[in-house]
Structure 1
Amino acid sequence: MMSEPKRLHPTAVILNLCHTIIQTIKNIILPFFFVYIVNSNHTVRFYGAIALGVLFIWLVAASIIKWRRFTYRIEDDEFRIEEGLFVTKKRYISIDRIQTMNTSAGLVQQIFKLVKLQIETAGGGKEAEAVLSAISVEEAERIKEAVFKKKAQRREELDEERLEAEEELDPSVEVQEHYRMNAKELLMAASTSGGIGVIISAVFALISQLDEVLPMDWLFDKFSFLQHASIGIYAVLIFIGLFIAWIFSIAGMMFRYANFQIIKKEQELVISRGIIEKHQVTIPLRKIQAIKIKENIIRQLFGFVTVSIVSAGGGDREKEEGALTILFPMIHKKKLPHMLRTFTPEYTLEENCRRLPRRALKRYLFRSVIFSLFLIIPLCIFFQPWGYLSVILLPIELLFGYLAYKEAAWTINGDRLQLTSRFIGRTTAIVLKKRMQVCKFSQSYFQKKGRLYTISTSVKSSSHMEELTVRDVGEEDAAFILKWYSYEKADG
């Protein structure tokens, strides 16, 4: 029975211990290196070893106690958790507040055929409200089913909530639509991602940290011959380094999005991915606030896009994604209209959009170069003749400024607003009027002279407000959008 207190699988002891050890290592790594590498006193090392042994025994004991004292159950329309190392803490989560329950499986969970269940609530912030780190797949399904049955019973008691009851996930619902990312899309997503910058940043961060605790002079001595190398040698080495970083980036993305698939069950999307660490998230369609379609320069040349969901609940809570959940990591733009109609029928892509007036072009060109001029002018004055090379930036930035003007657009179809803008890559956002928290129209002094406005709208995500903007829309278009939002919204 779900009302009886239950414990996590004993594997949770291992997970707790690993997590605690990692956190402890971060705190004692500098003292450790000081005692065992810098310091040569054997007595200090001996007592340091004893201290480490005692610390390890304490961490093991604390992990076991934490596992023993952690229980969960469903009782009186609440999900109840009791935990605490020395002081018992009780947490009661109302079933009505539970929005989604997502499962994932890291390497340890997969070895023991377990999953981690994250319970997320309305307004729960970035972290899940409750986490069951090690339970069986069958237990996770029983918890989900019990929660959804409780929610259904509650809605049956309240007549005004019956409509939402029909939208709740039912584990027995048959799959209506299914999509799996193919190998070509996976390879394109991996090879054109921005992960190379993350890899390079991580390498430099690691080197800077090691340099503080370990002498790196021997490494620099090994490569001292490069001080007299030619520019060609440096170019080759830089190319090799970037190529290796690119390969690592590809490998990371392929592991991350391997086995990516979407299953549509009535009014819910179930998104799963991963090999080493498997993730699964469930997103109710009624929680979708907007759809964002992104194209970087390389992907745009090949006709591929990445599609994300801005969700008010559930979703993937990874730090790098923030409030966004990837709907399609990579899909060809020709397939996109059909796929959106299939999986998110309220958020369809419009091809015929209204562009900006011609008078907005000079503002886009001016904005594209104004900040660079403050860099280029000093370089040309004080660093002659090499400073003149910085002038090359101007035509490149003017080109991007022109593209930003050319591709900025908006369109309205019924109660749906679509905005397109570009900085380096192109972003298209689709939002419903009922999901717009606010619609803002701003006008600077220079925009007023050009009879232009900046339009922006905000939608609520699980952690913050997501803002969607298009600059320098004509005043007649801005008036039309304002009328559409204000008057028709009031009527609705």
Structure 2
Amino acid sequence: MMSEPKRLHPAAVILNLSHTIIQTIKNIILPFFFVYIVDSNHTVRFYGAIALGVLFIWLVAASIIKWRKFSYRIEDDEFRIEEGLFVTKKRYISIDRIQTMNTSAGVVQQIFKLVKLQIETAGGGKEAEAVLSAISVEEAERIKEAVFKKKAERHSIDTEEGLSEAKEAVPDAEPQVSYSMNAKELLMAASTSGGIGVIISAVFALISQLDEVLPMDWLFGKFSFLQHANIGIYAVLIFIGLFITWILSIAGMMFKYANFQIIKKEQELVISRGIIEKHQVTIPLRKIQAIKIKENIIRQLFGFATVSIVSAGGGGDSEKAEGASTILFPMIHKKKLPGMLRTFTPEYTVEENRRHLPQRALKRYLFRATIFSIFLIIPLCIFFQPWGYFSIVLLPIELFFGYLAYKDAAWVISGDRLQLTSRFIGRTTAIVLRKRMQVCKASQSYFQKKGKLYTLSTSVKSSSHMEELTVRDVGEEDTDFILNWYSYEKADG
């Protein structure tokens, strides 16, 4: 076994340094930008340059010390890490607590043919319990094999079974089945993603920060001619800006999900993706708590959906979203989805014959969709005439989405599986097994009581929180049926 302490590859110094520099730049970029661009005092600039030089030397030295002080080993059924810049810190992780070990490779790792290994534990939170930032691919496989062998021994599995399980954990084993996202699905995922909102938010955040330390009047002066431009010019400029942002969003998503592949090996899924930064996530099938199928308006029109896994344990990989959700299919056509789920997650399959809400629930969905806008529209129409009347256009839009939410809300029980569908703007379908449900409850407001309706919700466990799945305004008889179905499982014990 790996009882001798080992160090990371020297490339970890570069990784430590780049990470530290990025964090430092975030803290000092505005003051130094002000000094060098705005302040014309050459003395201040001279000493500022010296300070930057000293700071850089210190960061390099600290990165080297951090690399030298970091070691890892497997000993006494524990994964042991010693680290610390000046004070040595020891961290012991029980082999039994290790749930998954995922690998990724950024630009630096790829140059040196290395990987980053993230060790995730049960209840480890959003961050990985331990990260080995620069080790060889062979070393990563040896660590995985050693951990699986130790886990087999700890659970009193005989030698033959333990060796078999260890072999199954090796990624070089022959895969049972695999899936790769095609170019059409990748383009659809990129062009209909919500990344454009992130880019626009980042641009506005940067401008707001620069405005506090830099005089922006000179910039506005360059575009003073726009003060006399007509609305058509503004429309064209806005369109061009949004189009460029959309293209950047597409490029980012295509880099992120290029080479996306799923390999199913016995009782685990290995998901890999990326070009510039390669990621690989391993998910044991027994750790899957629920499957979520999401469709925004545009993707739904074209018949595509995104599928994610809610899993227990882990959460340190950027592949994950919403805490412990891992993307299973970034983009897949709905016609292919039932077959793909049967192949990769056979316990979680889609049921088409769903039970919808009673007719009396419609008015509640329409009311919820419009109530807040009504309180906004009325004062706008009274105090901002005649332009305030344009706000009335919000009502038919919200009524439309309210009706869609009512029409799509549904549930179905198939054996030991519950499927819930709901909508806010996009439609979400959640599939959960009865044995994975932590709780199933029905609540009723005063107004729901009059219509004999309930809000039905269930929760499943993820790494850092409880994932709640909810459908509003379910009929009384349907609610009783679902609660009885769940309570029978509890009675069986």
User: Normalization by structure 1: what TM-score?
Assistant: 0.96
Higher relative contact order (CA 8 A, sep 6+): 2
Aligned amino acid, residue 68 of structure 2:
R
**Unmatched tracts of structure 1, length 5 or more:** none
CA contact (8 A) 1:365 1:398 kept: yes
Contact 2:127-2:315 at 8 Å conserved across structures: no
Residues 173 and 266, structure 1, Cα contact 8 Å, conserved in 2: no
Secondary structure of 1:334's match?
A: coil
Q: Aligned partner of 2:134: which letter?
A: A
Indicate conservation of the 8 Å contact 1:433/1:489, yes or no.
Answer: no
Q: Measured at CA, do residues 357 and 313 of structure 1 come closer, stay the same or move farther in structure 2, by a change above 3 Å? A: same
- Per-residue deviation, 1:43: 2.8
- Residue in structure 2 matched with residue 122 of structure 1 by the alignment: 122
CA distance in 1, matches of 2:374, 2:482: 35
Consecutive unaligned residues in structure 2, runs of 5 or more: none
Q: Distance in 1 between matches of 2:248 and 2:47?
A: 41
Give the match for residue 364 of structure 1.
365
Higher deviation after alignment, 55-64 or 300-309: 55-64
Aligned AA for 2:185?
E
Give the equivalent residue in structure 1 for 2:440: 439
Q: After superposition, where does 1:252-263 map in structure 2 within 5 Å?
A: 252-263=252-263
In the alignment, the residues of structure 2 paired with residue 395 and residue 264 of structure 1 have an alpha-carbon distance, to the nearest angstrom, of 47
Deviation, structure 1 residue 166: 9.7
Q: For residue 466 of structure 1, what is the aligned residue in structure 2?
A: 467
1:350 corresponds to: 351
Equivalents in 2 of 1:171, 1:181: separation in Å?
20
Residue aligning to 2:66: 66
Instruction: Give a deviation string over 1:38-78, Cα, whole Å, max 9, x none.
Output: 33333332222222211111111111111111111111111
Say if 1:96 and 1:130 are closer, same or farther in 2 by CA, change over 3 A.
same
- The alpha-carbon deviation at position 328 of structure 1 amounts to 0.3
Deviation at 1:158, TM superposition (A): 9.4
> Which residue identity is paired with 1:487?
Y
Residue 477 of structure 2: aligned partner: 476
Letter in 2 for 1:128: A
Q: Give the structure 2 partner of residue 140 of structure 1.
A: 140
Aligned partner of 1:487 in structure 2 is 488
2:97 aligned partner: 97
Give me the CA root mean square deviation: 1.9
1:4 is matched with 4
Q: Percent identity?
A: 88
Contact 2:457 2:468 in 1 (8 A): yes
Instruction: Indicate how the Cα distance of structure 1 residues 168 and 154 shifts in structure 2: closer, same or farther if over 3 A, else same.
Output: farther
Task: Give the equivalent residue in structure 1 for 2:325.
Answer: 324
Equivalent residue letter for 1:145: E
Is 1:251 the counterpart of 2:251? The answer is yes
How far off its partner does 1:316 sit? 6.1
CA distance in 1, matches of 2:270, 2:8: 25
Aligned 1:266-345 pairs, distance under 5 A: 266-314=266-314, 317-318=317-318, 320-345=321-346
Q: How many residues align?
A: 490
* Other structure's SS at 1:250 match: helix
Take 1:116 and 1:402, find their aligned partners in 2: how far apart are those partners? 48
Tell me: CA distance 1:49–1:364, structure 2 relative to 1, closer, same or farther (3 Å): same
3-state secondary structure, aligned to 2:9? coil
Matched residue type, 2:125? G
How far has the Cα of 1:384 moved from its partner? 0.6
Matches within 5 A, 1:377-392: 377-392=378-393
Does 297-306 or 318-327 show the bigger shift? 318-327
The one-letter amino acid of 2:181's match is M
Measure how far apart 1:214 and its partner are: 2.5
Letter in 1 for 2:341: L
Equivalence for 2:264? 264
Provide the TM-score with structure 2 as the length reference. Answer: 0.96
Whole-Å separation in 1 of the counterparts to 2:440 and 2:427: 21
